[in-house]
Chains A and B, each alone.
Chain A
Amino acid sequence: MDESGLRAQLEQHHPASYGWALSCCSRHVAEAEDVLQTAYLKILDGRARYDGRAAFKTWLFSVIRNTAADERRRGWLRHLRLAGYQQERAQDVHLPERGAGLEQTEQARTFREALGKLPRRQREVLHLVFYQDMTVEEAAGTMGVSLGSARTHYERGKARLRTLLKHAGPIDHD
């Protein structure tokens, strides 16, 4: 696939990619944008190559997920190097951005908080299935886990999310 073809594909999936990047970055807006930029560059520069074995979206989401994981590792190392400074900076910069995402309704806020309490894998598989309309199999491919493992995360994630939402109260369950 040439660069213009890749670019067209990226543009087509851009809104979904942004949502996935947000999910991978625990809904940090700035971090998600950084991850998206890095992932796009990786793809357009040829550092990440699409070999056609999976659907383009599945592959793209894997690149975004891996990029987010790299960023997390770098962040962790930075945190080790600049422990005190980083902490202050994180409080100053990141927290207001976190809040700016989905505070429109109480229900959305409650949902976002409940989702944030889930383990990463459970959150990811639920996002891919319910938000991105993927099958559990496609989600497993994106996450790089076996289908059985993805199913387990999916079932446990749903059960835990329901429990969390019930405890939170305001969301009505029909």
Chain B
Amino acid sequence: MTDQNDNKLRQLFQEQRRTDAQRAPAFDRVLRDARRVRPVETPVFPMVWLRLAAAALLLAALGVSLAVIHARRRETMPVTVAMPPAEDTQQWSALSNWSAPTDGLLTLSSTAVWGSKITTPTDTLIESTNETGSSQSDERGTL
């Protein structure tokens, strides 16, 4: 089947070949015309330097466009910041909120110290111990 189809195609091509052969210009005439009306060779890009310049220009354009694409990609790229573990952040916030018991002393540097009573956050503790101490001695005295 394929061979038969091939034969048919071959037959059609051969028919075309016969017709072309009848219409083909004589060899001598083609050669004579070629020598008489010699076609002026105008290359697509006439000079070598022009070809090189065109190639360089193309390369430069390609480079610029690649650079632009790369820059745009970098701009649109999402910035990912690695977050520390939740335990660490809790510890850090506890540290930043922490205040030492003696922090109150630091504020005294600009105040008049002499002749004034300085109170610190720990004074309350001392007072409460004094109170409990005196009540205990009273109890002893009664005994």
Question: Is B9 a contact of A174 with CB atoms below 8 Å?
Answer: no
A112 within 8 A of B: yes
Residues of B close to A77: CB separation below 8 A:
44
A41 within 8 A of B: yes
B31 within 8 A of A: yes
Known interface pairs A40-B34, A41-B34, A173-B5; A111-B12 also in contact (CB < 8 Å): yes
Provide the bound-state CA to CA distance between A70 and B42, in Å. Answer: 10
Question: Is A104 a contact of B19 with CB atoms below 8 Å?
Answer: yes
The smallest beta-carbon distance between B41 and chain A, in angstroms, is: 9
Known interface pairs A15-B21, A173-B8; A36-B30 also in contact (CB < 8 Å): yes
Question: Is A102 a contact of B16 with CB atoms below 8 Å?
Answer: yes
Provide the bound-state CA to CA distance between A7 and B27, in Å. Answer: 10
Q: Which of A48-56, A87-95, A125-133, A144-152 contacts B (4 or more CB under 8 A)?
A: A125-133
What count of chain A residues pass the 8 Å CB interface test?
38
A117 within 8 A of B: no
Residues of A close to B31: CB separation below 8 A:
7, 37, 40, 44
Question: Is B13 a contact of A130 with CB atoms below 8 Å?
Answer: yes
Known interface pairs A33-B25, A40-B30, A74-B44; A127-B13 also in contact (CB < 8 Å): yes
Provide the bound-state CA to CA distance between A29 and B22, in Å. Answer: 13
| Listed residue (B15, B24, B33) with the most chain A CB atoms within 10 angstroms of its CB | B24
What count of chain B residues pass the 8 Å CB interface test?
29
Which A128-144 residues have a C-beta within 8 angstroms of B? 130-131
B39 within 8 A of A: yes
Provide the bound-state CA to CA distance between A141 and B13, in Å. Answer: 21
Question: Is B19 a contact of A37 with CB atoms below 8 Å?
Answer: no
Considering only CB atoms, which chain A residue lies closest to B25 in the complex?
A: A33
Please tell me which one of the listed residues A14, A34, A107 contacts residue B27 in the complex, with CB atoms under 8 A apart.
A14
Please tell me which one of the listed residues B10, B19, B25 contacts residue A102 in the complex, with CB atoms under 8 A apart.
B19
B70 within 8 A of A: no
Chain A 84-109 against B: per-residue CB contact (8 Å), 1 yes, 0 no?
A: 00000000000000000110100110
Provide the bound-state CA to CA distance between A40 and B25, in Å. Answer: 14
Known interface pairs A38-B34, A40-B34; A22-B25 also in contact (CB < 8 Å): no
Provide the bound-state CA to CA distance between A161 and B13, in Å. Answer: 12
Provide the bound-state CA to CA distance between A174 and B2, in Å. Answer: 10
Provide the bound-state CA to CA distance between A11 and B28, in Å. Answer: 8
Question: Is A161 a contact of B44 with CB atoms below 8 Å?
Answer: no
Residues of A close to B30: CB separation below 8 A:
14, 33, 36-37, 40
Question: Is A22 a contact of B27 with CB atoms below 8 Å?
Answer: no
Please tell me which one of the listed residues B16, B33, B39, B44 contacts residue A111 in the complex, with CB atoms under 8 A apart.
B16
Question: Is A174 a contact of B8 with CB atoms below 8 Å?
Answer: yes
